[in-house]
Amino acid sequence: MKKLVQLSILSALAIIIFSVENIIPNPVPMIRIGLANVITLVVLCTWGLSEAAEVVLLKIVAGNLLTGRLFSPLFTLSLCGSIAATLVMALMLYRFSGFFSLVGISIAGAAAHNSAQIIAARFLFIKSIPVLSLIPLFILSSVVTGAIVGAAAVYSVKIIKKHEVFS
Amino acid sequence: MKEACVHYKLRYGDFAVAGILIAAAIAFMSVPLKQGSMIQIQVQSRTVGVYSLYPDKPKTIAVTGIIGTMHIHVEHGYAWVADSPCTNKLCRKTGRISRQGEIIVCLPNRVVITVTGGEPRDIDAITM
């Protein structure tokens, strides 16, 4: 019961971060910081992959419902990207945790998110999309945004573990 | 409950991840663009014509922009501006274009020439 409530609070936080980030005007379309990924990392660090999957799916469905593009092409891309990112981060956190800090895990997650999105866009929607010329831009941006998100996650997870907020 | 061993301080794996990604980005960037097959000519954002980059014999296309008529030469997969009524002739100095995505812009005349792959788009537009 306690876990259900805590996961619900984290999902609500993720949805709010996701929606607010989408409202903020962006100088570069298609590139977001992806701060909601902090919540995914927190859940991955505190519980496990299945709980993180629940939170991420809730975030994608409810967040896209709030921003008004549920079941649109962008929703599908968002879903593909988030699933890929969560799987990659879980793999790195549980199997190869000795090598990476949260920053590296977050960067890899961001890169997986962007690559999965553009590959899904290529195969599902726009056949003529110039994948090769867009991927370098997306990968470079994911290194920057992933580092920002990773730093935020380091502070969040540190405090959450220290004060045993979720246990 | 799965307890993951979480590291807060930067580790060498982080730098490896960032380094590999940046190297991959640079590698993707250095892949040459694909040879195009068509050119698309736009005047004031309206497409006025799409032509093959491989005409049977060298071809000159006359395009009327807002300050006059310019001539675009197309031959063996290359396209270039042969002459233009504009003053600074930047469109001529751009030289020959042949690869997908390459572009010649003549701003005074509002003419844009783009090389395309010729694959049809199946979606009209996407909004963000």
Confidence category of residue A140, pLDDT binned at 50, 70, 90: very high
Residue in A48, A128, A132 closest to B31 by CB: A132
Nearest to A142 by CA among A32, A22, A19: A32
Q: B66 φ, ψ to 5°?
A: -80, -20
A2-162 CATH, one of 1.10.1760.20, 1.10.150.110, 3.40.640.10, 1.10.10.10: 1.10.1760.20
Contact B26 A136 (CB under 8 A): yes
Task: Report the b/e string of A66-86 with b at 16+ CB within 10 A.
Answer: bbebeeeebbbbbbbbbbbbb
Q: Which of A86, A76, A88, A85 is nearest to A123 (CA)?
A: A76
Q: Does residue B15 sit within a domain?
A: no
A positions 32-91 inside 8 Å of B (CB): 44-45, 47-49, 73-74
Strands (E), chain A: none
Cβ(B38)–Cβ(B23) under 8 Å?
no
The answer to whether residue B18 sits within a structural domain is: no
Global pTM reads: 0.74
Best A105, A129, A141, A157 residue to mutate vs chain B (most B CBs within 10 Å): A105
Question: What crossing angle do the helices spanning A131-162 and A102-124 adopt, rounded to 10°?
Answer: 140
Q: How far apart are CA B106 and CA B81, in angstroms?
A: 9
Beta strand segments in B1-128, E: 38-43, 46-52, 59-64, 69-75, 78-83, 103-106, 111-116
A140 neighbourhood in chain B, CB within 8 Å: 21-22, 25
Q: What share of chain A is helix, strand, coil (3-state, %, to 5)?
A: 75, 0, 25
Question: Is B31 within the bounds of a domain?
Answer: no
How far is Cα A162 from Cα A160, in angstroms, rounded to an integer? 6
Closest CA–CA distance from residue A31 to any residue of chain B (Å): 11
The residue in chain A having the minimum alpha-carbon distance to the alpha carbon of residue B27 is A136
* A–B CB contacts, 8 A cutoff, strictly below: 105
Q: Is residue B75 part of a domain?
A: yes
CA distance A14 to chain B (A): 21
Over residues A97-135, the pLDDT tens digits come to: 888 999 999 999 999 999 999 899 888 887 766 677 788
Nearest-CB residue to B10 (from A48, A73, A103):
A103
Contacts of A48 in chain B (CB under 8 A): 1-2
Instruction: Out of A2-6, A109-113, A153-157, B112-116, pick the least confident.
Output: B112-116
Q: Any alpha helices (H) in B49-127, and if so which ranges?
A: 90-93
Q: How many separate domains does chain B show? A: 1
pLDDT in tens, A33-87: 889 999 999 999 989 999 999 999 999 999 999 988 888 888 999 999 999 999 9
CATH number at residue B101: 2.60.320.10
Nearest to B78 by CA among B101, B97, B60, B62: B97
What's the token pair of residue B77? Answer: 């997969």
Distance CA B78, CA A68 (A): 45
| A139 contacts in chain B (CB < 8 Å) | 21-22, 24-25, 28
Contact across the interface for B5 and A104, Cβ inside 8 Å: no
ipTM tops the 0.95 cut: no
Asked if the structure places residue B3 within a domain, the reply is no
pLDDT band at B122 (very low <50, low <70, confident <90, very high): low
- The residue segments making up the domain with residue B45 are 38-116
Q: Which residues of B touch A (CB under 8 A)?
A: 1-2, 4-18, 21-22, 24-26, 28-29, 31, 33, 100-101, 117, 119-123, 126, 128
Angle at A110 between CA A150 and CA A124, to 5 degrees: 160
pLDDT at B1: 44
* Residue in the block written with tokens 């580092």: A147
The overall average pLDDT reported for chain B is 83
Query: Is B74 within the bounds of a domain?
Result: yes
- The answer to the question of residue B49 being in a domain is yes
- Mark yes or no for CB contact A48/B1 under 8 Å: yes
Cα–Cα distance list, A35 to A41, A128, A153, B25 (Å): 10, 30, 9, 23
From the list B17, B14, B4, the residue with the least C-alpha distance to A93 is B4
Q: What CA dihedral angle connects A8, A11, A13 and A18, to 10 degrees?
A: -160
